[in-house]
Amino acid sequence: MKINSTSLQSSMLVLLSLLGLYATPALGQRWQEEHQQLNVNRNKWKSQSIQNYQYTYQKLGPNPQNIAYPWTVIVRGGANANANDGNNNPIYWATPPTMDTFFGIIQDAIINNAQRISVGYSQQGYPTNIYIQKSNGEVYDVTISGFQSQRLRKRNLQNQRWQQEHQQLNASRNKWKSQNIQNYEYKYQKFGPNHQNIVYPWTVIVRGFNANANDGNNNPIYWASPPTMDTFFGIIQDAIINNAQRITVSYSQQGYPTNIYIQKSNGEVYDVGVSAFVSQ
């Protein structure tokens, strides 16, 4: 019996794949180079252990919400980010990106084989400009400028109330981190004033450092960086350090916050709910 060589080759590849002896082809050389650049610069950034910094964030392209750019973003503890918009109004309705957020966005574009990836990096390793055209045609185009690292003085906790909150935070954060959950999904609800008419709740999907979300109408949130659990821990810690007027937090059995109510010293309120958590 004559065996077709092409059929035999295909059958062998299938068999080897099932046995785990045949690897699928790697991404093209273009994305391999981008991946190498990402790893080199992310490692350079992490080696400096810069936890507190400030930068200017400019998002280019369509702006249907008429958001005033550029933002001035201030990051504390590596994960907690606050920002003022181009009119110096606080951004209370979205979580501004950190450098880890940007690294995650670039990595996600590489993994998902985006149509175009163009990234510039600073000498310190953080991205200075990112242009990504995803496979569905969606564009992410941002610049990062005016970077300043900052050294903060340690501040004593003001009273027993915040010491207790700090202990709860540490215990819950350690419980969360001990599980090493990198990929998860949850519902994000922000309460209070909603001047931008943003539709909640968001469905947030986290992959490593990268978070994506759809709003309550299932439209993608491309104009803001959805919060991760590390973001929430940072926000709570910042409230404790800065002696907020009120801090009320509940935690799940897995350690992540389920609701956060913070009234800052300037009267500003941060009120969110976290629900429908699923690890993946």
Q: pLDDT, tens digit, for every residue of 51-87?
A: 899 999 999 888 767 788 999 999 987 777 888 888 8
Q: What span, in angstroms and rounded, lies between the C-alpha atoms of 251 and 258?
A: 5
Q: From the CA atom positions of the chain, what is the Rg in Å?
A: 22
Mean pLDDT for the chain overall:
82
pLDDT of residue 29: 56
Higher pLDDT, 13 or 162: 162
Among the listed residues 222, 192, 191, 179, the one whose alpha carbon sits nearest the alpha carbon of residue 67: 222
Asked whether the predicted pLDDT for residue 12 surpasses 80, the reply is no
Res 43: pLDDT? 92
Among 47, 232, 246, 45, which residue's Cα sits nearest to residue 158? Answer: 246
Q: At 152, list the tokens.
A: 């903060």
At residue 2, the pLDDT reads 43
What average pLDDT does this structure show over 9-37? Answer: 54
**Amino acid letter, 122:** S
| pTM of the predicted structure, to 2 decimals | 0.57
pLDDT tens per residue, range 163-193: 888 889 989 988 998 898 989 999 999 998 8
Q: Given the structure tokens 């295909």, which residue do they identify?
A: 10
Average pLDDT of span 104-110: 89
Q: Which two tokens stand for residue 159?
A: 């009273």
Please state, in angstroms and rounded to a whole number, the distance separating the CA atoms of residues 120 and 106. 11
Residues 6+ apart with CB under 8 A from 78: 50, 51, 98, 100, 234
Look up residue 53 and give its two tokens: 């910094």
Q: Are strands 202-207 and 116-121 parallel, antiparallel or unpaired?
A: unpaired
pLDDT of residue 76: 84
| 152: confidence class by pLDDT, cuts 50, 70, 90 | low
Model pLDDT, residue 161? 65
| Two tokens, residue 87 | 């009119």
